[in-house]
Every structure is written in C-alpha cells, then in structure tokens.
C-alpha cells in the first residue's frame, strides 16, 4: 500500500511538472505572438538598409515638427484585386503616415477610402483630381487588367495638395514631405533668379524659364529679377540668388550682387568664358564681367572652351559624306563628381554643354574652394576663336594625349569672402521709386561673414529649358540645381531625402563584430533563455516548498 501511494505521489508530481512545462511553453509562445502582433501594428521599426531607406530624414522631421495646425490626408485606394506591389506600397504608406503622425505630435490625421466600393469616395476622388489607373495583375494561369485608384489628397488650413497617382516605385517620403511643405509653408526659402528675359517685342522668351519652374515645383518662393534694373527691394528676403548666363552686368548690378554676398547671402552663378554663334558654329572666348566679383571670392572663369575626349557623348554629325556618328567633345557626361560634397555626393553624372575651365584666382580667398565637377583627364582647351562644326573636329593624337589633363567646371566657395568694392568706388544706385542716390563709402561691406557661400558652374547651357526638360541623362542637371538650392538654403537635409528616389533598399554590410554577436545569439540565445526560465521556475518552486514547510511542516 505504501509503495502504491509513493508511486501515485510520484505520478502526480510528474504530471504536475509536465503540465507546468506545457503551460510555460504555451505562455512563452503566446508572449512571442503578442509581441509580433504589436510590432506589426506599430510604426516603430529597425532600419538595416545601407542608405537608411526606411528612416525618416531630419528634413522631414523638421518640417513635421514645424506644423502649426492639423494636416488631413485622405488616401483613395482600391483594396481588392490589385497587384501585389500595390498592396505592398499601400502598407508602406500606412506605416509612413503612422510615423508622420507620431513625429508631428498627432498633427497628421489620415483615412483610407475605397472609391471602387464607395460612391461618395468616388465623387470626392474625382473632384480632387485623383484619376483611375489601369492595374495589371499577372498570375500563373491568367492575366487581367482592371481599373482602380491609388492617390491621395492633403488638406491644410483650407488648402489642398494632391498626389494623383502613387506608383509602386514612388518615393513616398519625398512626395509626402514635399506636399506637406508646400501646403504648410514650413521651410520655403525665397530664391531670386537673375536671367535675361529675352526680347518680348520679338516674341522671344528667356532660355532659363525652367529654372524658376523647377524651384517653384520644389516648394520654393521664386522672385524673378531683371539684371538691367536691380533695385533695393529685389534682394530683400532672398536667401539664394541664382545668376544664369547674364549679359554684361552693370556696375549697379555687380554692386548689389556683391553686397548680397557680403551680407552672408548664398550665390549661384552659371556662366561661361565663351560666346557661341550657332549659325556659323564659331566659339569666341570672352571674359564675363561677373569675374570681377568671383576673382575676389577666390575663383575665375577662364576665356576658353573645353573639349573632353574622354567623356564626350556619341552623336551624329552632318559632314560632306553625310551623317557620321562620332564623339562630341562639347556634350560631356561628366562622371568625375565630388563624392564627399553635399551637392554632388548622390549624383551619378552631370551633362556639360560647352564648358569653360574654372581656376583659382590670383587674389586668393580667405574662404575654402571645393571642386564639385571636373572633366576627364583627356580634355583639351581652345583659347582662340574656334569652329565647332562636326567635320572639323579632330581627336587628340596619342602624343597629344599625354599633355592633356582634367579641369574643374563646377566649384563651391564658402567662408569669409572679400568684396570687390573694398578697392573700387561704389556706383550710383537706383531706389525703388526710380530716384538715384550715391552710396556712401562708409556703408559698403568689405568682408562677408563665414556663412557666405558661392557655387559656380561654367556651363550655363546645361540649365537651359531644352536641357532641363529633356529628362534621361540630363535629369541629373535638374537634381544638381535642386541639391544646390537645398544645400545653400536648407542645410542639405532634403538632398538625402531626394536621393532615396533613385536608390534601392539594399542591406548595409554587416560588420564582423556584428556577425559574431548575431551568431552567438542565434546559437546560444534560445538555450540561455530556456535555461533562464528554468532557473526562474526552480527558484519559484523552492520558494513555494519553503513556504509550505513553514506553514504545514512538510515538504
């Protein structure tokens, strides 16, 4: 009887311990499932991509933190029967909006509506300019095309901004942040564009209309400035002045541009050291008189035309024998870009048209000069009048190649810069009301603060309307302009955001120390966790037995 009782007691304890192990295992799995479920519903995530593709940029955070009131986002999206990539993009958008709401302090509110099943949502989507799109679904046994919706509308203080179609490859953060910034005007610097306006009496427009349009589309406020009639108010409130291939500037225009820089302003200059005659094909060296300012800042645009036989693009030339395809050394796809500079770090190339060389000036500079864009080491200079007709272009001989080198065609100067008018008397200037006044010498600023910056590109033809609107390889030229504006006015935070459009979410390289730590956790982590749970369980059982012994006098 005693033996049976002891066996029964042992069986009871074994059953109890087995039940405890089973319950503990079930609870452990339940906890893991709960953690996984909460993680799937949370906007928090760990970004292991090399370029932090899924981490909000500081530029986005700054704009969201600067919101003064609520932004309402209405997403019109078809829920059922859509391609897998659209389903994935919908999930990313929802996750992104949750992050935006958290960072903005709950000032971003969003709703998802399906116009395919909701007539009221369909009516509002049409009113907001969100069109239906063709969605292609391909399976193992069938191929179907259906009409669906995927667009969104943002509302802020009575103003609307639509993103009509969200493509699978659209950079959601870039599009969303741009739209919010345009609506809320959180960080919208004023850009002044100084460019010849053409001859309106002859029906001519300026060649740089796309520069202003590009800046406006990006959310900047643009002020067009006539270089022949610069007044006091023209540079008021302007943070960046963009001077595009000006004609010979007057002393007054030079003075106003210079004093803008002396006040710590940011200046972008695109001009060359050559005059082109498109009818005859002749190129005549010239010195732009804005050099009188640039030389005091530390750089000079030389009177030359560069032929790059290393990076020249292939195109068809009309010769006496008919069209011949050969290298065009004046249409250059420059790939030698400064990878450490904020403006060019993410650019793969830059298309140059008829560039001149940029050298350091004899005056020197108290600032720093950083090269942004350079030609290849197979570049030849033309310093006299030169005919660019295709049948007259001769590549350099093998002997000549050894004497060729690379030239800078884009530079960035920053720091305390010297004024030309420290040694030149200021001109008579025109007031806003049309009257004139003499500038007192005592009011002229002779040196800029350290915050002054100047970017110079010796290829203004790289920014004309025909180039900026061409797309393809010249898209990098438009990105260069936007990068320059962002770097000079917003600190460059938006550049990293914009670059996400052209990058894939590749995993970053795992360091060897991280790999060893991960392996150790995988190999011994789970056994250690189970051992820890066992120790906790053992301690608890001992505590209970001791308590029972104290209370009942038995183990």
- Is 195 found in the same domain as 173? no
Nearest by Cα to 251 from 452, 439, 460, 456: 439
**429: containing domain:** 190-489
Give a yes or no: residue 100 inside a domain. Answer: yes
**Residue range 431-453: mean pLDDT, rounded:** 92
Please tell me the total count of domains within the chain.
4
pLDDT band at 62 (very low <50, low <70, confident <90, very high): confident
Give a yes or no: residue 502 inside a domain. Answer: no
Q: What is the pLDDT of residue 135?
A: 78
Q: What is the pLDDT of residue 23?
A: 67
Give a yes or no: residue 347 inside a domain. Answer: yes
Q: What is the pLDDT of residue 169?
A: 77
Give a yes or no: residue 504 inside a domain. Answer: no
- Is 164 found in the same domain as 292? no
In terms of average pLDDT, the best of 99-113, 128-142, 307-321 is 99-113
CA–CA dist 306, 382 (Å, integer): 6
Tokens of 421: 């008018």
- Is 390 found in the same domain as 292? yes
- Whose structure tokens read 């029967």? 81
Helix, coil or strand: residue 357? coil
Taking the C-alpha atoms of 501, 503, 507 and 510 in order, what is their torsion angle to the nearest 10 degrees? -120
Q: What is the pLDDT of residue 38?
A: 57
Per residue in 334-368, pLDDT tens?
A: 999 999 999 998 888 999 999 999 999 988 777 89
- Is pLDDT of 395 > 90? no
Taking the C-alpha atoms of 38, 40, 46 and 52 in order, what is their torsion angle to the nearest 10 degrees? -150
Per residue in 197-217, pLDDT tens?
A: 765 444 456 789 999 999 998
Per residue in 469-503, pLDDT tens?
A: 877 778 899 999 999 999 999 888 778 777 655 44
What is the Cα 287 distance to its own chain's centre?
34
Per residue in 181-193, pLDDT tens?
A: 888 877 789 999 9
More confident residue, 34 or 353: 353
**Residue range 258-274: mean pLDDT, rounded:** 95
- Is 157 found in the same domain as 255? no
Q: What is the pLDDT of residue 9?
A: 56
- Is 179 found in the same domain as 194? no
- Is pLDDT of 531 > 90? no
Helix, coil or strand: residue 314? strand
What is the overall mean pLDDT for the chain?
83
Lowest mean pLDDT among 80-84, 93-97, 106-110: 80-84
Q: What is the pLDDT of residue 261?
A: 96
- CATH code at position 363: 3.40.50
Lowest mean pLDDT among 36-45, 148-157, 178-187, 283-292: 36-45
Give a yes or no: residue 49 inside a domain. Answer: no
Tell me if 310 sits within 8 A of 378, measured CB to CB. Answer: yes
Q: What is the pLDDT of residue 502?
A: 47
CA–CA dist 99, 177 (Å, integer): 12
CA–CA dist 426, 259 (Å, integer): 10
Q: What is the pLDDT of residue 34?
A: 63
- Is 154 found in the same domain as 248? no
Give a yes or no: residue 349 inside a domain. Answer: yes
Residue 319: other Cβ atoms inside 10 A: 14
CA–CA dist 60, 218 (Å, integer): 14
- Is 363 found in the same domain as 239? yes
More confident residue, 528 or 117: 117
- Is 370 found in the same domain as 320? yes
pLDDT band at 15 (very low <50, low <70, confident <90, very high): low
Q: Which of 502-513 are b and which e, b meaning 16 or more Cβ less than 10 Å from the residue's Cβ?
A: eeeeeeeeeeee
- Is pLDDT of 545 > 50? yes
Per residue in 282-340, pLDDT tens?
A: 888 899 999 999 999 999 999 999 999 999 988 766 666 667 677 889 999 999 999 99
- Is 141 found in the same domain as 196? no
Tell me if 363 sits within 8 A of 352, measured CB to CB. Answer: no
Q: What is the pLDDT of residue 507?
A: 47
SS3 sequence of 406-436:
CCEEEEEEECCCECHHHCCCCCEEECCCCCE
Residue after which a domain boundary falls, among 151, 184, 217? 184
SS3 sequence of 8-62:
HHHHHHHHHHHHHHHHHHHHHHHHHHHHHHHHHHCCCCCCCECCCCCCCCHHHHH
Residue after which a domain boundary falls, among 184, 199, 227? 184
**Strand residues in 90-149 grouped as ranges (E):** 108-113, 133-138, 143-148
DSSP code of 200?
G
- pLDDT over 70 percentage in the chain: 81
Angle 296-297-299 from CA coordinates, rounded to 5°: 95
DSSP bridge pairs for 268: 242, 455
- Is 166 found in the same domain as 284? no
Residue after which a domain boundary falls, among 474, 489, 504? 489
Nearest by Cα to 300 from 218, 356, 344: 356
Residue 171: other Cβ atoms inside 10 A: 18
Q: What is the pLDDT of residue 147?
A: 84
Tokens of 312: 């020249």
Tell me if 539 sits within 8 A of 545, measured CB to CB. Answer: no
**Residue range 84-106: mean pLDDT, rounded:** 91
Nearest by Cα to 406 from 371, 379, 369, 373: 379
Q: What is the pLDDT of residue 139?
A: 57
Give a yes or no: residue 31 inside a domain. Answer: yes
Give a yes or no: residue 501 inside a domain. Answer: no
If phi > 0 it is left, if psi is from -120 to 50 it is alpha, else beta; for residue 491 that is left
- Is 357 found in the same domain as 288? yes
- Is 111 found in the same domain as 216? no
């Amino acid at each position: 009887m005693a033996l049976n009782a002891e066996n029964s007691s042992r069986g009871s304890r074994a059953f109890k311990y087995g039940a405890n192990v089973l319950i503990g295992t079930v609870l452990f799995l339940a906890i893991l499932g709960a953690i996984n479920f909460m993680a799937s519903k949370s906007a928090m995530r760990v970004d292991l991509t090399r370029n932090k593709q899924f981490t909000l940029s500081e530029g986005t955070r700054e704009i969201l933190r600067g919101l003064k009131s609520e932004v309402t986002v209405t997403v019109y999206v078809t829920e059922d029967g859509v391609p897998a990539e659209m389903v994935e993009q919908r999930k990313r958008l929802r996750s992104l909006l949750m992050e935006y709401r958290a960072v903005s302090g709950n000032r971003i509110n969003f709703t998802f509506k399906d116009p395919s099943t909701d007539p009221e949502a369909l009516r509002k989507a049409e009113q907001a300019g969100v069109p239906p799109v063709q969605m292609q679904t391909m399976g193992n046994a069938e191929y179907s095309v259906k009409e669906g919706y995927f667009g969104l509308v943002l509302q802020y203080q009575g103003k609307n901004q639509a993103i009509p179609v969200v493509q699978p490859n659209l950079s959601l953060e870039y599009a969303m942040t741009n739209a919010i910034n345009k609506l809320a005007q959180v960080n919208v610097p004023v850009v002044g564009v100084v460019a010849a306006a053409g001859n309106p009496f002859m029906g001519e427009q300026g060649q740089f209309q796309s520069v202003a349009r590009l800046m406006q589309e990006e959310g900047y406020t643009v002020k067009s400035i006539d270089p022949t009639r610069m007044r006091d108010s023209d540079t008021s409130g302007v943070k960046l002045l963009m001077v595009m291939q000006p004609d010979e500037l007057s002393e007054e225009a030079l003075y106003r541009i210079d004093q803008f820089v002396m006040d710590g302003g940011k200046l972008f200059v695109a001009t060359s050291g050559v005059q082109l005659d498109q009818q005859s094909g002749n190129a005549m060296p010239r010195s732009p008189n804005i050099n009188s300012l640039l030389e005091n800042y530390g750089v000079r645009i030389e009177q030359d035309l560069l032929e790059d036989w290393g990076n020249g693009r292939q195109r068809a030339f009309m010769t006496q024998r008919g069209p011949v395809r050969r290298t065009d050394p004046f249409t250059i796809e420059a790939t030698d870009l400064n990878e450490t500079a904020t403006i060019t770090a993410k650019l793969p190339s830059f298309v140059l048209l008829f560039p001149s060389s940029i050298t350091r000036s004899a005056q020197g500079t108290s600032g720093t000069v950083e090269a942004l864009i350079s030609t290849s080491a197979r570049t030849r200079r033309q310093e006299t009048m030169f005919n660019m007709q295709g049948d007259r272009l001769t590549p350099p001989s093998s002997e000549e190649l050894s004497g060729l080198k690379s030239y800078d065609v884009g530079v960035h100067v920053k720091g305390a810069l010297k004024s030309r008018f420290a040694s030149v008397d200021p001109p008579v200037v025109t007031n806003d009301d049309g009257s004139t006044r003499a500038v007192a010498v005592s009011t002229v600023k002779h040196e800029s603060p350290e915050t002054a910056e100047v970017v110079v590109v010796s290829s203004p033809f790289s920014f004309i309307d025909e180039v900026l609107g061409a797309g393809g390889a010249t898209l990098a030229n438009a990105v260069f302009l936007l990068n320059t504006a962002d770097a000079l006015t917003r600190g460059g935070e938006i550049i990293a955001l914009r670059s996400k459009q052209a990058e894939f979410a590749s995993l970053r390289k795992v360091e060897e120390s991280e790999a060893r730590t991960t392996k150790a956790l995988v190999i011994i982590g789970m056994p250690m966790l189970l051992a820890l749970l066992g120790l906790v369980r053992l301690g608890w059982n001992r505590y209970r037995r001791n308590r029972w012994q104290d209370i009942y006098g038995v183990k």
